[in-house]
């Protein structure tokens, strides 16, 4: 999986999945094009995290310094972010796929977030996984405290995204 190329070892993670009655290609296209801002819950939780009310698509996440690190069409996409997420400003760093792999500065953490598809028969399993690697003991402690409070809301966003993708892909409305 592509996610393993970017963050094979990690300190924290979260995984959610859903079964969808649609082809992987249709689900992938839906996941890329869907406006997650259609969900009141996602819009509200993103606003709490300082993200705007505008259109919220996976491609639009670049506005918040998430970079598309890799993509295998109709199978997996990986977004990444580097920063001090536990601080007020977040200390976000400008990265691309190569600089993400090489980034190794103490006091920071690297995060990847993927969506992957596994098609079996008339169903496709859509999984999203978030992995975080802290680059020293201090950042691991700080992130751990931060994650205690953020993880439940992060999980709500991910689960709501999966439900919305399922709803749209099965209805074939995108």
pLDDT band at 167 (very low <50, low <70, confident <90, very high): very high
pTM of the model: 0.93
Q: Which of 55-59, 81-85, 111-115 has the lowest mean pLDDT?
A: 55-59
Domain residue limits at 121: 2-171
Domain total of the chain = 1
The predicted model gives 20-24 an average pLDDT of 96
DSSP characters for 98-128? HHHHH---TT-EEEEEEEEEEEETTEEEEEE
Q: Which residues contact 26 (CB under 8 A, 6 or more apart)?
A: 169, 172
Q: What is the CATH number of the domain that holds 54?
A: 3.30.530.20
Cβ 6 vs Cβ 112: under 8 Å: yes
Tens digit of pLDDT for each residue in 117-133? 999 988 999 999 999 99
């Amino acid at each position: 999986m592509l996610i393993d190329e970017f963050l094979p070892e990690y300190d924290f993670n979260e995984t959610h999945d859903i079964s969808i009655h649609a082809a992987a290609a249709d689900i992938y296209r839906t996941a890329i094009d869907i406006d997650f801002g259609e969900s009141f819950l996602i819009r509200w939780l993103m606003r709490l995290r300082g993200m705007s009310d505008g259109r919220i698509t996976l491609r639009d996440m670049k506005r918040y310094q998430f970079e598309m690190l890799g993509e295998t069409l109709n199978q997996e996409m990986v977004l990444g972010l580097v920063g001090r997420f536990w601080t007020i400003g977040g200390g976000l760093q400008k990265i691309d796929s190569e600089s993400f792999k090489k980034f190794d500065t103490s006091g920071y953490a690297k995060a990847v977030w993927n969506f992957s598809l596994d098609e079996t028969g008339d169903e496709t399993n859509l999984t999203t996984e978030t992995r975080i690697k802290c680059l020293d003991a201090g950042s691991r402690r700080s992130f751990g405290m931060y994650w205690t409070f953020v993880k439940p809301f992060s999980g709500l966003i991910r689960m709501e995204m999966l439900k919305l993708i399922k709803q749209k892909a099965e209805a074939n409305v995108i």
